[in-house]
Each structure stands twice: as C-alpha cells, then as structure tokens.
C-alpha cells in the first residue's frame, strides 16, 4: 500500500475520531488560569543516509562518512481542562556538509528538515502513569543539496526540496521510577502521513520541475526526566526520526524523493512552567 493510501485512510479515521472526541470535550471554567509549559530540546544527530545513497548510486566506489548534525525542538502547551490540552511545536534537523571523492570526482551533500505542528491531546491517568494521545496538523519541509565537482574545474548543484502537510498522531507516556515521583521514565511516538510536492532544481541545466509526492514522517523517543522544582523539569534521552519519501506516477526516484532517511539523536532539554 502506498504512502498516499495510508494518508487517505488515516485522514478519514482521524477526522471522524477527532470530531467525536471534540463533541465531548469539557470547557474550562472562565476564571481558570492554567500554567503554560515550554519544552526545549537540543542534541547531536547521526544518519547513514549519505553512505547508503552514494553506495547505491556510485556502485560502492565512494568511501562515505556518516552524516553528523544537530537537532532542536521547542513545544508550547497548556491545559484546556483536567483531561484536555493544546500544543504547538517545531522541530529542526540540520546536517553538516558531507563530502566524498572517487578519482577526479567529488560529491558534497547536505540535508536539512523542519516540521511544525499544532493540535490537541487527551490525557489519561493510570495509577502513577500519565498517557497523552494527540491529534493535529503538521507541515514539513525537507531539503537535499548535492554538489558534483570534477577536479575543481567543473561543478553543478542539484537541489531536492519537499514541502507537504498532513495529519499527525502522537502518544506520550510518563511513568515515575523514584519513590517521590521526581524521576520519571518518558517515551513516545508520532506518525504523520503528508502529501505535497518534490521540487527538483539544477544550476547545470538551469531548470526546475515539481512532481507530486508523499512523505511518511515518524518518530520515537525514550529517556528520563527529573523534576528539579515546581516549575522546572530536566530531561534527556534518545530519539529516532524517519522520513520516507514517495513520488507519484512512478516517477524516477532520486535521493529523498523515493528514499528513506533515518536519524538517531541524543538529546537533552528542559520543561519550564509559567
């Protein structure tokens, strides 16, 4: 089943479910003033995308290092009631230039990715465990830049730019592991089937072409959090992000357009309540 088919099925299911949940959403009292939570994370990211891609395209003639980069995210949330909240967030991945060479040829590649989403969540308390199930809308942009150089005398750049949007589903869990509840195990996962366009541009041919396509964005994380005081929580862990691109109409696949990129990040951050 294609990514587009998954997107259509999930869109229908989530739309019906969200409407049913929203109908039963209780309103907060007019004089209620809930705290606003701001969560900021940052970390070091790694990916084998360039190594896999160049081996496929170059027939194993390139010695490629893994991609190294940085990850950052910020999220703002506030309770609507005891059970419901809203949340907006943004995430960014930025990798350093990765250069490899074979004979007179050298290839330099750079990857970036940005997402932004907004939605609501339903919170459940199960003993000491807190579970949040969320649904919302997400916009994504991923870029791949490839610079081919021939012995320093001839070079041309090719860019692949994906822009898409779609629904996002998420689940987040917190479970206390210390007697006083200050130390918690945290984890979660998200899935976002998006639809949009892949735009290909090259300065060699001075041309640009856009092709409809889809991308399935998924992520999972696991870590620990420590409640330092009433308003500040420290957190750290590992997360994995994946981008699966798919071109419509059986168009020729190139790079992230028709490929997949998996990123592993060691992150640390904090959550502050205002």
81-103: pLDDT as tens digits: 999 999 999 999 999 998 887 77
In a domain, 157, yes or no: yes
In a domain, 30, yes or no: no
Strand-pair partners of 270 = 40, 234
Q: Which domain holds residue 52?
A: 3-23+35-273
User: Does the structure show a pLDDT above 80 at 256?
Assistant: yes
Total domains in the chain come to 1
Chain segment 106-163, per-residue pLDDT in tens:
888 899 999 999 999 999 999 889 999 999 999 999 999 988 888 767 778 889 999 9
In a domain, 217, yes or no: yes
Chain segment 179-235, per-residue pLDDT in tens:
999 999 999 999 999 999 999 998 776 778 999 999 999 999 999 999 999 999 999
In a domain, 68, yes or no: yes
In a domain, 102, yes or no: yes
In CATH, what number is assigned to the domain containing residue 176? 2.40.128
Tokens (6 digits) for 150: 């021939």
User: Does the structure show a pLDDT above 80 at 247?
Assistant: yes
Return the percentage of the chain with pLDDT > 90, whole number: 64
In a domain, 127, yes or no: yes
- Please compute the mean of the pLDDT values over residues 7-12 and round it to a whole number: 44
Q: 160-187 burial, b for 16+ CB within 10 Å, e for fewer?
A: bbbbbbbbbbbebbbebeeeeeeebebb
In a domain, 227, yes or no: yes
In a domain, 29, yes or no: no
User: Residue 99: its pLDDT value, please?
Assistant: 86
Neighbours of 133 (CB within 10 A): 15
User: Residue 251: its pLDDT value, please?
Assistant: 67
């Amino acid at each position: 089943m294609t990514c587009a088919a998954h997107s259509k099925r999930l869109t229908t299911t989530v739309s019906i479910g969200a409407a049913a949940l929203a109908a039963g959403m209780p309103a907060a009292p007019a004089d209620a003033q809930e705290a606003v939570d701001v969560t900021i994370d940052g970390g070091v990211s790694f990916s084998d995308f360039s190594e896999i891609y160049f081996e496929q395209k170059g027939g194993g003639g390139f010695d490629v290092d893994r991609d190294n980069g940085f990850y950052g995210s910020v999220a703002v949330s506030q309770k609507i009631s005891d059970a419901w909240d809203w949340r907006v967030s943004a995430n960014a991945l930025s990798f350093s230039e990765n250069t490899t060479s074979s004979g007179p040829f050298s290839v330099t590649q750079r990857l970036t990715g940005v997402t932004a989403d907004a939605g609501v969540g339903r919170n459940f308390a199960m003993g000491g465990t807190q579970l949040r199930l969320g649904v919302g809308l997400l916009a994504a942009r991923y870029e791949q830049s490839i610079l081919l150089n021939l012995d320093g005398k001839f070079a041309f750049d090719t860019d692949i730019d994906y822009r898409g949007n779609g629904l996002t589903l998420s689940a987040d869990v917190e479970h206390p592991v210390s007697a006083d509840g200050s130390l918690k195990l945290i984890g979660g996962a998200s899935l976002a089937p998006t639809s949009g366009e892949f735009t290909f541009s090259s300065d060699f041919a001075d041309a640009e072409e856009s092709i409809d396509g889809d991308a399935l964005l998924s992520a999972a994380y696991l870590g620990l959090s420590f409640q330092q005081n009433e308003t500040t929580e420290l957190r750290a862990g590992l997360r994995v992000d994946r981008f699966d691109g798919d071109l419509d109409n059986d168009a020729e696949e190139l790079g992230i357009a028709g490929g997949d990129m998996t990123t592993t990040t060691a992150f640390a951050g904090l959550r502050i309540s205002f």
